[in-house]
Structure 1
Amino acid sequence: MQLPYTTYLIDLDGVVYRGETLVPGAKEFIAWLNTTHKKYLFLTNNSFASETQVLAKLTRLGISTDQTHILGAGQAAVKNIARRFPGATVYVIGEQPLIEMVQQHGLQVASLDAHKADVVLVGLDRTFDYKKLTGAVLAVRKGAAFITINRDPLLPVENSYLPGCGTMTAAIEAGSQSKPEMIGKPEPTLLFEAMQQLNSQPGETVMIGDNLGVDILAGHAAGTHTILVLSGNDTRESLARATVKPNHVYENLAAIMDLIHTAEPTSHTS
């Protein structure tokens, strides 16, 4: 089978790399996307690392790409807010890269003492405190749109975990008694923003991920094709038990490259 897609949305951790190690086939697959002029974006749910930081890691690991091929859920959230609430005042729970991103999109950042805003945007904030919680809760209770980048309760760090974006979101949700809108996977908004950026339609797009309940579920919700690679979170055993099923399953990106190389000799006669 050849790959009939024009557009590739690619998860990072568990697909392209694991920690500081490239997954087999990753460098070759990205080189193929570049040389065949495919449309692609790396998608990450990360709510605090900027696209510049993601690019620095990819470059360090030997992946040849650029920042135009990276879309984080934080950037997608800010783009979504700027389009829906142009010029809005945003109460930001987040770190400096997220604050700067909000400002760069023509939005106003509310003072932490303000208890009113058009939008409350929640990302990972390692200085989250009672003052910020109060401001966010009161702003939502007064009618602000409540948007969170993701609902991951924990942030994996070396040999441990830290409270994630979802933990802060849950605190604001409890105080405001309002349910947030989520931008990151498994909700489809990140994929919709990616396809809009690439001028692509779901029928020509494939989501490649390692997590059935996050990446593949997001692909289903957005109406794209889906490929599960077994180089990260899920295994053939968990796939057999799961109700969420991908369109195709491969061991890793190297297995996809094997398929591409096998199909190439006959690609001009089909």
Structure 2
Amino acid sequence: MTDLNGRNAEILKKKKLWLLDMDGTIYNENEIFEGTLDFLQQIRDNGGRYIFITNNSSKSVTDYVQKVTGMGIQAGFEDFYTSSQATAMYIRENYPGQTVYCMGTRSLVTELRESGLSVVTEPDESASVVLIGFDTENTSEKIRNTCIMLGRDVVYLATNPDLVCPVSFGFIPDCGSMSIMLKNATGKEPFFIGKPQPIMVDCVLKNTGCSAGEAVIVGDRLYTDIATGKNAGVDAICVLSGEATLKDIEDGDIKPDFLFRDVKEIWQKLR
């Protein structure tokens, strides 16, 4: 078994835990990629398990379960770990009892509240933490309110640094681009919780009892997915079905351990 670069990838057949990005890796918006279902079945046939780790905070885990099962993917609540979950955990551990102002989707706000956090969506003097997510429901009023909050002495966090999110016609601005917009207005930059921080991978390894050597991460972005693998000490596969291109890999400093065209090719090689 070799990858696109001719590197020996036999080690992948022994991996027990597959940490899978979603947008640009197993599907594009609402279209599942060819070979995804076969790939996931092959992981199970090899005695492994897959968990979806996504930086996309626009949907709750409940939303994601509904979306992927509608695509024919076998997955439950326990098969996901999102930047929203990691963010909620980070805030509970580092800023317990503090009120959070959130610029995000209704799903993100609901999920944060259900995790036990006090969350507001309008300017509020009691809020000491400002959080932004990938807000697909954004408005000029939300942006204005967030700028008001960032004018105060607050902790500033963001769910993920992704600049774009792949969609059917190309890309749309993601949370990272929204943070650049807000920096231009306020001069402030957030601390990003999701990939490439190792927080999400570390939590999944702990929850599953798997070692870093037994796991592999698959994704389409060098600066999030692949960098996360490096930061967490986990082998990383880059697929060319999303954001990263061969030129990006050749010219960039972040190099994947393995390279495949898409998950269909991984499935074919795993067989």
Equivalent residue letter for 1:7: L
Identify if the C-alpha distance between structure 1 residues 94 and 236 changes in structure 2 by more than 3 Å, giving closer, same or farther. Answer: closer
RMSD: 2.7
Q: 1:78–1:105: 8 Å Cα contact kept in structure 2? A: yes
**1:133 paired to 2:146:** yes
Residues 35, 264 of structure 2: 8 Å contact kept: yes
Query: Per-residue displacement from partner, 1:40-96 (whole Å, max 9, x unpaired)?
Result: 321222121222222222222221222221222122211221232233211111121
User: How many residue pairs were aligned?
Assistant: 258
Structure 1 consecutive aligned stretches of length 4 or more whose deviation exceeds 6 Å: none
Identity of aligned residues (%): 29
Structure 2 residue corresponding to 1:231, chosen from 241, 245, 255: 241
* Distance change >3 Å, CA 153–CA 229, structure 1 → 2: closer
Shift in CA distance, 157/228, structure 1 to aligned 2, threshold 3 Å = closer
Alpha-carbon shift at residue 16 of structure 1 (Å): 1.1
Distance 2:204 2:93 in 1: 14
Mapped pair 1:77 → 2:116: no
Instruction: Pick the aligned partner of 1:101 from 111, 135, 148.
Output: 111
Give the 5 Å matches for 1:143-182: 144-154=154-164, 159=169, 163-174=173-184, 177-182=187-192
Selected match of 2:194 from 173, 178, 184: 184
Distance of 1:74 and 1:199 partners within structure 2: 22
Answer yes or no: is the 8 Å Cα contact 2:179–2:189 preserved in 1: no
CA distance in 2, matches of 1:160, 1:16: 16
Deviations 1:154-198 (A, max 9, x none): 555554765543344335445554431102223333333333443
Query: 2:189 aligns to what SS in structure 1?
Result: coil
2: distance between equivalents of 1:231 and 1:172?
30
Structure 2 residue identity aligned to 1:227: I
Match of 1:57 among 53, 67, 91: 67
Structure number with bigger Rg: 1
